[in-house]
Amino acid sequence: MSRKPVHLAVYDTLADWETGHATAYLARAGYEIRTVGPGREPVTSIGGLRIQPSCALDDVRPQDSALLILPGADLWDTSADLAPFARKARAFLDAGVPVAAICGATAGLAREGLLDDRDHTGAVSFYLAATGYAGGERYVDADAVSDRGLITAGPTEPVAFAREIFRLLGVYEGEVLDAWYRLFHDSDAQAYAVLEKAAAR
């Protein structure tokens, strides 16, 4: 079955560790991962990785995508450079295409007003409150939250972030999803048996 690609936003200072679980296992499930930069110029992550974007943000259309992933980055809090990515997230959600945001990207979405009427989480409640957004009452103290096509998570929860992405896209379900999470979050060796059994089907 042909799947639409998943678009991963990339920009200077992006947090390398936050999306690796999600993109690796989405790729294993048959999704093409396309990196989306502000333009087509290379960007550099917090960890010093130099990334050549597959495409520019202006060229990405929601109807051509299965999901937009927005990782954290220092730039979310130090400038307005990444605001166009938050506006693109609005276009995705308005078109019924899901968005997943982690760490600083949640603050960018808060500034865009996308968390005002959705349950969400982030690093901590007062971090998002500092944006001046109107969604404080919808903040949930959880590892990751999914509400009406928008997934949010804090910077210490890349595995829970991936879990919610897999659940939303139907990559893993039920006991297999639970086993995947227990394996990578809790180092539960017993979860291997469930995953091996599922792979053999």
- Print pLDDT tens along the chain (201 aa): 469 999 999 999 999 999 999 999 999 999 999 999 999 999 999 999 999 999 999 999 999 999 999 999 999 999 999 999 999 999 999 999 999 999 999 999 999 999 999 999 999 999 999 999 999 999 999 999 999 999 999 999 999 999 999 999 999 999 999 999 999 999 999 999 999 988 888
Q: Which residue among 99, 103, 115, 177 is the active-site one? A: 103
Contact 130, 81 (CB under 8 A): no
Give the distance, in angstroms, between the CA of residue 134 and the centroid of all CA atoms in the same chain: 22
Query: Coil, strand or helix: which one is 4?
Result: coil
Specify burial of residue 91 (Cβ count, 10 A radius: 0-12, 13-18, 19+).
middle
The confidence score (pLDDT) of residue 201 equals 80
**Given CA atoms 114, 153, 19, 4 in this order, what sign does their dihedral have?**
negative
pLDDT of res. 188: 95
Q: What is the pLDDT of residue 15?
A: 97
pTM: 0.97
Identify the pLDDT of residue 200: 87
To the query of whether residue 103 is one of the catalytic residues in this protein, the response is yes
